[in-house]
Amino acid sequence: MASSPGPDIILPLSSQKHDPAWKHCHMIKRADRIHLRCMYCHKLFSGGGIHRIKEHLACQKGNASSCPKVSMEVRRAMQQSLDGVVMRRRKKQKLAEEVKKLNPVKPADTADGHSEAEMGLQLVAMPISVEPEAVQLEKREEEVVARTHERKRRRAAKNLSPPLKENGFARANLGEQWTEINGGPLDAVNSAHFQPMIDAIAAAGPSFKAPSYHDLRGWVLKNSVEEMKATVDFYKETWTRTGCSILADEWTTEADQTLINFMVYCPEGVMFLKSVDASQMVTSADALYELLKLVVEEVGVGNVLQVVTSNTETHALAGKRLTETFPSMFWTPCASRCVDAMLEDIVKLEPASIILEHARSITRFVYNHAEVLNMARRFTDGKELVRPGRSPSDTTFMTLKAMAGLKENLSSMVGSEEWKNSSCSKNEAAAAMTELICSPTFWSSVDSLVQLTDPLVQVLRMVDSIKRPAMGYIYRGLHRAKEVMRRVLKMKKDYMPYWNIIDWRWHKELPRPLQAAGFFLNPQFFYRIKGEVPNEIMTGVLDCIERLVPEMKSQDKINKELTAYKNATGISGGRWRSGPGTPCSPIFASPFGNSSGEWWSTYGGGCPNLARLAIRILSQTCSARGCERSRIPFEQMHSQRKNHLEHQRLSDLIYVRYNLRLQQRHLLKNRQTDPLSVDAISGVEDWTVERTGLFTREDDESNWVELIQPTSSSEAAHTDEDDALFSAEIDDEEYDGCNKEEEEEDDDDDVKQEMYGFVKEEE
């Protein structure tokens, strides 16, 4: 192609350019002709329009050459767009055929002898009927719907041979129908039961008849209840050996009702027991005590080691009365709520609050402009900046950690020509975001805050773990968090505010006999203590022996076996102190592996009484937090207007649904989420929702249809990393007097650097 005189002029795109391919090309004016140029390989196209560019970016052989430099994400997006065009064209043709079949047009001459075809006019012949027009219209619509469903059924039968996952058309058809079914929830595809359901339907073939409304409310629900009870009975059989914890997960509905979901935890799994409307009970310690007492009696006093509830003063009073009535168990406040409160207190401190507000200003801008979000996803290879967590604190610090890991990608983005040429980069908010991303001081402070809080976030996620009990790990986890804070900040005056937060919450809200005993009975940690065992730990162990083993003879035997355990004698001899690769190393035996408990089962034969106690203590959880409750009809069941029989049915439905959800939590490690989704918005609004007046919207043409589809699962990177949480690197220095709270100031000059107030240079 001969070159034309004069420079190329890049023309602005009008608001009518909605095709996603326009985001990946430039409109060039060369002399008197308009060309399109690929943004990646710079190939010039003089014909074919945006469709030709799309084929080029999708590397689709045929009318256009393939782009050698396009990323896989863009390539997939363009292919999906091309598939959508073909699909819409087919649907349009099919619809026209259906209308033609439904209303056949017969040629008829007009009054002047000319046919309608000759006149360029075609009238649709309407059947003669005495029925009202609205009735006729309704019947015609019903016929079209019936024909459409029959056509889809036949098409599904033809598509059964290839696997469903390889049939893009079938997948689109399924998605379309799913959204038509009562507004089917899109995140239902994350259920572990969704794909097996699709497989079962596909295997049954086109003759399969779906269960009716009454089938689902009748025999299907009855069978599900019986199957769930059989699973729960299996859990109950283990309670005698491992004991169990009663969990009271308290929450407030949109109607301001306070509900408590009671669950029972054991290493084999968590079972949902029942849901109670406690709106009139949570303000009365006496009423709450009576409720907890009934649940303990229902589960069995001899099986229960602890009752875990919220940590309010009312709950503490009710818990104290409960342990007076049942002296063989503990009342324990929820550890995950306690650690959450620690993180929330840290967020309120000025250095952290400033850093987080600056970080949020970046994500709010990115997630409210389609062009910027697409650009960010390209530069981060599809990784999301915002990471929805199980709590607002989890979301906050997981997102900050993700941003710290992607700082080079973000810097490359704002330094690219694509960003500089973008219309979104021209306003004041974009300039502020660019300045932050290019600021070494900002990223240095982000890195320090992540280092400071990450061990505490790990404790939060550890106590919420569904894979193994956390009782043997939380004590060590909190001490490790404090030690990391001391190492990061170095100066006592800098780290003591954070230590004070942890100590105040820990001592005020988290009584520690079980946690201290869990640390002592976990050989992975106990044999790394240097010097004498701290008094706090031994006091917790003795409290547990006194409360959990009422018989004096058994207590005496355990006290003797404690000496053998502390001296590492009687079982495997000196090998107990040997370090990694010996019996001290964690043993993971099952999906809900109880590492320390399994160690005692294997090596505790010489201390049988202590081993039985250790297994029961180390088999407990620290958190009362359940799983998500969306689309489970708790509020309907607790409504004042309900039929008695329907209330029973709803109760059974909730029993099945919530238990199924509890069982499949460990299968959702790779579930797909989108920070913009309404399913995630309740936890990420601080990071994705613009503040009023923060950004101008007058000239913004952002539209969700322009978004590149996310290609990675934001939860896959951080959901329940159990092995890492429970077997993090052990540092012997942590256990050198692990109850020591006071440190001398470190005058290390190497830490004198400005980091948003974290460490200030000495005068």
Instruction: Give the pLDDT mean for 561-576.
Output: 68
- pLDDT value, residue 618: 94
Helix then strand then coil, % of the chain, to nearest 5: 55, 10, 40
Rounded to whole angstroms, how far apart are CA atoms 211 and 213?
A: 7
Instruction: Give the pLDDT mean for 410-439.
Output: 92
- DSSP class of residue 217? I
- DSSP class of residue 369? -
- DSSP class of residue 691? P
- Closest by CA to 516, choosing from 476, 483, 554, 575, is 476
User: What would the pLDDT profile of 282-316 be if each residue is shown by its tens digit?
Assistant: 899 999 999 999 999 999 999 999 999 998 899 99
- Mean of all residue pLDDT scores within the chain: 77
- pLDDT value, residue 357: 94
Residue labelled with tokens 């297994």? 615
Domain boundaries, the chain: 9-81, 143-206, 229-334+625-667, 352-509+671-743, 511-623
Class of 229-334+625-667 in CATH: alpha beta
Percent of the chain with pLDDT over 90: 32
- How many other CB atoms sit within 10 Å of the CB of residue 508? 12
Length of the chain: 763
Question: pLDDT band for position 124 (50/70/90)?
Answer: very low
Which helix (DSSP H) or strand (DSSP E) does residue 269 occupy? strand 269-277
- pLDDT value, residue 49: 82
Written as one string, the DSSP assignment of 620-641 is --S-------TT--HHHHT-SS
- pLDDT value, residue 733: 47
User: What would the pLDDT profile of 73-107 be if each residue is shown by its tens digit?
Assistant: 788 888 888 887 777 777 666 655 554 544 444 44
Q: Read off the tokens for 18.
A: 């909605």
- How many other CB atoms sit within 10 Å of the CB of residue 578? 15
Question: pLDDT band for position 638 (50/70/90)?
Answer: confident
User: Is the model more confident about 615 or about 708?
Assistant: 615
- State the amino acid at position 144 in one-letter form: V
Instruction: Name the range with the highest mean pLDDT among 128-142, 146-160, 426-440.
Output: 426-440
- Closest by CA to 340, choosing from 624, 620, 678, is 624
User: What would the pLDDT profile of 727-758 be if each residue is shown by its tens digit?
Assistant: 544 454 444 444 444 444 444 444 333 444 55
Rounded to whole angstroms, how far apart are CA atoms 270 and 262?
A: 10
Q: Residue 697, exposed/middle/buried by CB under 10 A (0-12, 13-18, 19+)?
A: exposed
Rounded to whole angstroms, how far apart are CA atoms 723 and 727?
A: 6
Instruction: Give the pLDDT mean for 412-439.
Output: 91
Question: pLDDT band for position 171 (50/70/90)?
Answer: low
Percent of the chain with pLDDT over 70: 70
User: What would the pLDDT profile of 675-716 be if each residue is shown by its tens digit?
Assistant: 666 555 557 888 888 765 444 455 555 566 677 766 654 444
Please check the confidence at residue 645 and state whether its pLDDT lies above 90: no
- State the amino acid at position 542 in one-letter form: L
Question: pLDDT band for position 673 (50/70/90)?
Answer: low
**Contact between residue 636 and residue 563 where contact means Cβ atoms under 8 Å apart:** no
Written as one string, the DSSP assignment of 436-478 is HHT-HHHHHHHHHHHHHHHHHHHHHHHHT-SSS--TTTHHHHH
- State the amino acid at position 189 in one-letter form: V
Rounded to whole angstroms, how far apart are CA atoms 349 and 327?
A: 41
If DSSP codes are grouped into helix, strand and coil, which group holds residue 252? Answer: strand
**Which residues are CB-neighbours of 508 under 8 A, at least 6 positions away?**
none
User: What would the pLDDT profile of 29-71 be if each residue is shown by its tens digit?
Assistant: 887 788 888 888 888 888 778 888 888 898 887 777 888 888 8
Written as one string, the DSSP assignment of 294-313 is HHHHHH-GGGEEEEEE--SH
Three-state DSSP string of 65-111: CCCCCCCHHHHHHHHHHHHHHHHHHHHHHHHHHHHHHHCCCCCCECC
Rounded to whole angstroms, how far apart are CA atoms 444 and 449?
A: 9
Q: Read off the tokens for 217.
A: 């409310």
Q: Residue 359, exposed/middle/buried by CB under 10 A (0-12, 13-18, 19+)?
A: buried
Question: pLDDT band for position 334 (50/70/90)?
Answer: very high
Question: pLDDT band for position 492 (50/70/90)?
Answer: very high
Cα end-to-end distance, the chain, whole Å: 69
Instruction: Give the pLDDT mean for 227-254.
Output: 90
Whole-number Cα distances in Å, 191 to 35, 63, 196, 720, 755: 48, 41, 10, 17, 44
Q: Which residues pair with 262 in a beta bridge?
A: 248, 274
